[in-house]
Amino acid sequence: RKEVEQDPGPFNVPEGATVAFNCTYSNSASQSFFWYRQDCRKEPKLLMSVYSSGNEDGRFTAQLNRASQYISLLIRDSKLSDSATYLCVVTPTDKLIFGTGTRLQVFP
Amino acid sequence: SAVISQKPSRDICQRGTSLTIQCQVDSQVTMMFWYRQQPGQSLTLIATANQGSEATYESGFVIDKFPISRPNLTFSTLTVSNMSPEDSSIYLCSAGGGAWDEQFFGPGTRLTVL
C-alpha cells in the first residue's frame, strides 16, 4: 500500500464549481500535513498546511481526520487559474512524503 | 521565504556520463533535500543533504550513484553518475526548516539521457 494515496483525476469542472479532493495516508504516526500545488512544468509550491481543527484560506478549505487517516481539500468558486496538480503531503518522520497528485482542469 | 535556484535548468547527456546539478538558496537553511520527479509521477525523495556530514539516502538510492555535497548552509550539489536512459527525470532541490515547516523548491533540472 502506498504511504499517501490520491485519486489522480483529472477532475474537469466548470468555472464557479466546487470541487473536493481526498487523500489517505498509511502511517498513523504522521505529524504534519500539507497541500502543495504544482503547475505544469513548474516546481511544487505550498498551498496550505492542514490542521486537526480544519483551516480555511479564502476559497480553500482543508480538513484532517486522524482517526480515518484522511485529508481533504475543498475549492469553492473554481477559477481557471486553479487548474493545476494538487499534491497531498504527509510527514511520518522528518521528511515529506508526496502523493501522486490530483489533476484539476477548470474550463470556462 | 527562500528563493532557490538550480543549474543547469536542463541538459541532454550521453549514457555513461555524469552530471552535477547545483542548488543555491538565498538564505541559510537547516535542511536541504533532493527529489526526483519522473514524467507523470509525483516527487520521490532521493536524499537529505546534511551540512558537514554525509547525505542520508532513501531506500533505492545509493551514494555511488547519487553523490551529494553540502559544503555550507546555502549550497548543495547532486551528481547523477554513470547515467542511463532510466535516469531521465526532473531533479528538484528543496530547502526549509524541516518537515514541519514549509519547504521551498527550486525550479528543477530536466535531464534527458540518450
- Express each pLDDT in B32-53 by its tens digit: 999 999 988 889 999 999 888 8
What pLDDT, on a 0 to 100 scale, did the predictor assign at position A66? 92
- The 10s digit of each residue's pLDDT in B69-114 is 999 999 999 999 999 999 999 999 999 866 567 889 999 999 999 9
Mean pLDDT of chain A: 93
Mutation pick from A96, A97, A100 vs chain B, by most beta carbons of B within 10 Å, is: A96
Tell me which residues of chain A, numbers 84 to 103, contact chain B at a CB-CB cutoff of 8 Å: 87, 91, 93-101
What pLDDT, on a 0 to 100 scale, did the predictor assign at position B97? 66
The predicted model gives B57-75 an average pLDDT of: 95
Give Cα separations from A106 to A79, B18, B64, B101 (angstroms): 7, 41, 44, 30
Cβ distance of B105 and A31 shorter than 8 Å:
no
The predicted model gives B1-29 an average pLDDT of: 95
Per-residue pLDDT band at B24 (split at 50, 70, 90): very high
The predicted model gives A79-95 an average pLDDT of: 91
| CA pair distance B50, A47, nearest whole angstrom | 27
